[in-house]
Amino acid sequence: MGTSCHPAARVLVVISICCLCNFISGSEGDPVDSCPEKVGTCTVGHTGSNTPNIVGCLPCSYNYLTASYFDNHNSLLDSEFHDFLAEKIISNDLCKSSVNNIYKIRLSDLNRYLIGEGSHRHLVSTMRFDRKLDASKLQDDYFCETIIIERLPTGVFADPFELQHLVDQRVFLAAGVFGDTNLELPSALSNRSVVEIHMDVGSNIELKSYETVVQLPLHARYPPLDASGYAQVTIGKPDLFLRCRPKDLQKETCSWAVRSLDSKANNVTWQIPCGDEALTHIVSNVTFLSALTCSLLIVLSAVYLKTNISHVIVKDLNDRRDQ
Amino acid sequence: MFSPKMTPFVTFDLRRTILISAILRLALIVYGEWQDSHMVVRYTDIDYSVFSDAADLVLKGNSPFERSTYRYSPLLAFLLVPNSLIHRSWGKFLFSSADLLVGFFVDAILQLRGVPENLRLRSVAAWLFNPFTFTIGTRGNCEPLVCATILWIILCLMNGKAFQAAFWYGLIVHFRVYPIIYSLPLVLVINKANVGLSGKPALQQWGSRLNKLTTGPVPKPSVWSLLRSCITKERILFGLLSGSVFFFWTSLFFYLYGWEFLNEALLYHLTRTDPRHNFSIYFYHIYLHHQHGFSVLEKLISFLPQMMVQLALVFQFFEDVPLCFFAQTVAFVAFNKVITAQYFVWFFCMLPLILPWSSMKLKRKGLLCVLVWMGSQVHWLTWAYLLEFKGQNVFLQLWIASLVFLASNTWVLLMVIKHHRYSPLFEPLTSSPDARKLK
């Protein structure tokens, strides 16, 4: 079977660092990002809700923020998910020194769109970060990651093994899929899943602004039947976090300072072809009729040809006896 | 190896064929490694990483079923433990070796049946240089292991080692489930004369004038005598031994890995239905019903054609074991509820065993059969491409393409049967006076 032949670059996450000529000097003093506008809801799918403003610490032993959500929850509800994150990332003194530093990087823009066609596409998130002037110290002393959490609707899924392959190729620092990771079931029989991707924030200390592009490979499930012929699956805005820890880490006291990043983001909609319920009877009847016809043809031919062979043999034997 | 009577020239030719095939496979394995590390689209089959992960798990003393989508016997994971210890390509070498072994076995079977050297080599080449088959093993698909075992079972039977055949048969059904379809012809073909107590059974030879003969002119046994003749000591022993081997391995792994093993490695394959598009005519029917489920009647109706065809083919052709296995496998795949391209290997390995008995001219009807079969596949793939990679709603066209593919499978199967010189594997147990007179 063919493939969509996406060029290699489509899957790779390109971290391009570029200077901005119109760097906003006013942003230096901003402690946190401004609150984004409400994201509108769409007809089908989960448009998601805004990430609450979360700042706190997380022990280094927790690799993924979302890994344990499904231990206590059967389904993914945005409000419960955000409560879970808020409870998980707690304020304490363990990461006090780091917390002040994580404000030195801010998200100024988030742009989202899908590339590719068909059932296997890439969700591209372009994040533009601004860095404070004294952020170079942050780079020297701290190790920082951007975390992007996608709360996927039932209509699409990410393949954990494919993501692991990208981690192996060092495209992502880490990537995990949680929730319903069954790759075969249609939407109607599936639950939502969460994808958590960790990215390096970039190491070029000279630049004050840079872009990070994440290309997440996604796959469409077979949607529920619909006469319109296409189902609309909407993927809402992701939850974004920045986390930093000192490079000289001590295991006992190692703790990440974590901060949510908020920004305006557009929803993306994926149009997926679906079956037409009106065809159910005709498809079933013709399917069974075809199977029955072909099987009868084989049965009759097997019987006829074997009988024919037997007749040939008898004739053959008689001919030879007569000779 | 299996052909002590071959002339040195022919031995060289077979060896050269195998050698070229081995080099080709080695080159593909090396190329696959390169593609995997340099390109986004991997050469290696996705299932190979599943096997490898499962092998790594058993090495650590865990269950191979901790790796999701591992749906094979744990034996496979154990076979691939060297993937973690020696090199990750170990499995590909193992599968490709089995692939080459199939070439040897084809030659050995045909030689025992008295097929001339040039025809044997052509048949071996039909397997070894089939682009479909040499990519299967090198991409890390385990099917060549199954093919080699099935051919080995036929060889055992031909050498009068029915109990050894029973052992391998029990094992391979445990390993891959689908060879269960061969149980009936295997049991039927076994009789006193070929169980091996009295040496090697008499095999009908390729050049034999009467190789169309079965057991004399128009044998019409009554149902009762057929039933009575079915239940013989040899058949019961074959069934018991192969059943014991099957249950031994299944029980052992059930004891070790519990219901997860039974559900994933066995029951999954028996109950598998897939609403996503595949070559099967049933895919759209399954998709259109997936939100409501299926009635018992619907399940029965979809099982009926498969059942009818299997029984008819077995009872008509069981004496010509290779033809019977080939026809059964083609029909089994064609009427299955799920068909993926790897299933085609199941009958590709039987094809070289029947080619020497076919009167079909390769340049005419043979080519037409290949073109029809490939054409219907390309037609299906075109619609599948538009659906999967272009996002166009072509479910209806794709389903019609599946129907066309079934029709082409049926037509090709009928052509193969029609042009096949029916030749029972063994000489009849009781030849008619006419037949004896003619010898």
Q: Do B391 and A291 touch (CB under 8 A)?
A: no
> Which residues of A are less than 8 Å from B301 in CB distance?
288
Is there a domain that residue A195 lies in? yes
Q: Do B214 and A314 touch (CB under 8 A)?
A: no
The lowest-confidence range among A99-103, B41-45, B148-152 is A99-103
pLDDT of A203 reads 60
pLDDT of B13 reads 83
The lowest-confidence range among A64-78, A102-116, B149-163 is A64-78
pLDDT band at residue B269 using 50, 70 and 90 as cut-offs? confident
Backbone angles phi, psi at A152, to 5 degrees: -80, 140
Is there a domain that residue A203 lies in? yes
| Rounded Cα gap, residues B40 and A84, in angstroms | 36
pLDDT of A77 reads 80
pLDDT digit string, tens, across residues A255-311: 888 888 877 788 899 999 999 999 999 999 999 999 999 999 999 999 887 655 655
Q: Which tokens belong to B269? A: 């394959």
Instruction: Locate all alpha helices (DSSP H) within B262-295, ordered by sequence.
Output: 268-271, 283-289
CA distance A140 to chain B (A): 32
The counts of H helices and E strands in chain A are 7, 13
DSSP run (H or E) holding B234 = helix B233-261
Q: Do B212 and A312 touch (CB under 8 A)?
A: yes
> Which residues of A are less than 8 Å from B388 in CB distance?
1, 118-120
The lowest-confidence range among B69-78, B265-274, B371-380, B403-412 is B265-274
- On the question of pLDDT at A14 being above 50, the answer is no
- On the question of pLDDT at A317 being above 90, the answer is no
Q: Which of A1, A5, A299 sits opposite B384 (nearest CB)?
A: A1
CA dihedral B427, B433, B435, B438 (to 10 degrees): 130
Residue A270 DSSP SS3:
strand
Q: Do A280 and B289 touch (CB under 8 A)?
A: yes
Q: What is the mean pLDDT of residues B387-399?
A: 94
> Which residues of B are less than 8 Å from A224 in CB distance?
291
CA distance A122 to chain B (A): 13
Q: What is the mean pLDDT of residues A33-61?
A: 53
> Which residues of A are less than 8 Å from B302 in CB distance?
288, 291
Whether residues A182 and A240 share a domain: the answer is: yes
Q: Do A305 and B390 touch (CB under 8 A)?
A: no
Residue in A with minimal Cα distance to B402: A287
Domain that holds residue A147: 55-273
- Give Cβ neighbours of residue B262 (< 8 Å, ≥ 6 apart): B250, B254
The answer, for A170 touching chain B at a CB cutoff of 8 Å, is: no
Whether residues A107 and A141 share a domain: the answer is: yes
Look over chain B and give the mean of its residue pLDDT values, rounded to a whole number: 86
> Which residues of B are less than 8 Å from A306 in CB distance?
316-317, 422
In chain A, what percentage of residues exceed pLDDT 70? 72
Q: Which amino acid is at A62?
A: Y
The answer, for A314 touching chain B at a CB cutoff of 8 Å, is: yes
pLDDT of A144 reads 84
pLDDT band at residue A137 using 50, 70 and 90 as cut-offs? low
- On the question of pLDDT at B409 being above 80, the answer is yes
The answer, for A298 touching chain B at a CB cutoff of 8 Å, is: yes
CA distance B307 to chain A (A): 9
CA-based angle B198:B315:B353, to the nearest 5?
65
> Which residues of B are less than 8 Å from A316 in CB distance?
210, 212
The lowest-confidence range among A24-33, A80-89, A109-118, B241-250 is A24-33
- Answer with the residue of higher pLDDT: B326 or B270: B326
Sheet holding A174-179, edge to edge: A55-59, A255-261, A239-246, A142-152, A193-200, A174-179
pLDDT band at residue B433 using 50, 70 and 90 as cut-offs? very low
Q: What is the mean pLDDT of residues A188-217?
A: 82
Nearest to B74 by CA among B178, B171, B144, B149: B171
Length of chain B: 439
Whether residues A303 and A207 share a domain: the answer is: no
CA distance B368 to chain A (A): 19
pLDDT of A288 reads 94
Q: Which of B289, B309, B391 sits opposite A298 (nearest CB)?
A: B309
Whether residues A301 and A204 share a domain: the answer is: no
| Rounded Cα gap, residues B180 and B424, in angstroms | 21
> Which residues of A are less than 8 Å from B210 in CB distance?
313, 316
pLDDT band at residue B267 using 50, 70 and 90 as cut-offs? confident
Q: What is the mean pLDDT of residues A41-59?
A: 60
Whether residues A131 and A100 share a domain: the answer is: yes
Is there a domain that residue A25 lies in? no
- On the question of pLDDT at A208 being above 80, the answer is no
Is there a domain that residue A41 lies in? no
Number of structural domains, chain A? 2
In chain B, what percentage of residues exceed pLDDT 70? 88
CA distance B289 to chain A (A): 7
pLDDT of B296 reads 81
Whether residues A256 and A280 share a domain: the answer is: no
Q: Which residue is listed with tokens 């050698």?
A: B19
Q: Which of A1, A290, A296 sits opposite B281 (nearest CB)?
A: A290
| Rounded Cα gap, residues B439 and B179, in angstroms | 36
Whether residues A153 and A284 share a domain: the answer is: no
- On the question of pLDDT at A12 being above 50, the answer is no
Cβ within 8 Å of B, A 35-94: none
Q: What is the mean pLDDT of residues A172-188?
A: 86
CA distance B284 to chain A (A): 7
CA-based angle B104:B137:B72, to the nearest 5?
110
> Which residues of A are less than 8 Å from B413 in CB distance?
298
The answer, for A285 touching chain B at a CB cutoff of 8 Å, is: no
CA distance B415 to chain A (A): 10
- On the question of pLDDT at B362 being above 50, the answer is yes
Q: Do A321 and B399 touch (CB under 8 A)?
A: no
Is there a domain that residue A127 lies in? yes
- Answer with the residue of higher pLDDT: A237 or B219: A237
- On the question of pLDDT at A7 being above 50, the answer is no
pLDDT digit string, tens, across residues B183-235: 999 988 887 666 655 567 777 777 775 444 444 444 555 667 667 767 788 88
Is there a domain that residue A60 lies in? yes
Q: Do A310 and B217 touch (CB under 8 A)?
A: yes
Q: Which amino acid is at B46?
A: I
The answer, for A274 touching chain B at a CB cutoff of 8 Å, is: yes
The answer, for A228 touching chain B at a CB cutoff of 8 Å, is: no
Q: Residue B8: how many CB atoms within 10 A of its CB?
A: 7
> Which residues of B are less than 8 Å from A2 in CB distance?
381, 385, 389
> Which residues of A are less than 8 Å from B281 in CB distance?
287, 290-291
| Rounded Cα gap, residues A232 and A222, in angstroms | 12
pLDDT of B292 reads 84
- On the question of pLDDT at A4 being above 70, the answer is no
Whether residues A63 and A182 share a domain: the answer is: yes
Q: Do B417 and A311 touch (CB under 8 A)?
A: no
Instruction: Locate all alpha helices (DSSP H) within chain A, ordered by sequence.
Output: 8-11, 69-72, 78-88, 96-101, 136-141, 160-168, 280-322
Whether residues A123 and A262 share a domain: the answer is: yes
Q: What is the mean pLDDT of residues A162-179?
A: 89
Is there a domain that residue A5 lies in? no
Whether residues A96 and A139 share a domain: the answer is: yes
| Rounded Cα gap, residues A248 and A265, in angstroms | 35
In chain A, what percentage of residues exceed pLDDT 90? 31
Question: Interface pTM (ipTM) of the complex?
Answer: 0.87
| Rounded Cα gap, residues A55 and A64, in angstroms | 16
Whether residues A179 and A304 share a domain: the answer is: no
Q: What is the DSSP string of B36-87?
A: HHH-SS-SS-HHHHHHHHHHHHHHTT--GGGSTT--S-HHHHHHTTHHHHT-
The answer, for A115 touching chain B at a CB cutoff of 8 Å, is: no
Could you give the count of Cα atoms lying within 13 Å of B403 in the half-sphere of its Cβ? 19
> Which residues of B are less than 8 Å from A295 in CB distance?
304-306, 308-309, 331, 335
- Answer with the residue of higher pLDDT: A63 or B34: B34
Q: Residue B391: how many CB atoms within 10 A of its CB?
A: 20
pLDDT band at residue A207 using 50, 70 and 90 as cut-offs? low
Is there a domain that residue A255 lies in? yes
pLDDT band at residue A74 using 50, 70 and 90 as cut-offs? confident
Whether residues A253 and A291 share a domain: the answer is: no
- On the question of pLDDT at A5 being above 50, the answer is no
pLDDT band at residue A244 using 50, 70 and 90 as cut-offs? confident
Pick from B335, B389, B400 the residue to mutate for testing the A interface (most A CBs within 10 Å): B389
pLDDT band at residue B313 using 50, 70 and 90 as cut-offs? very high
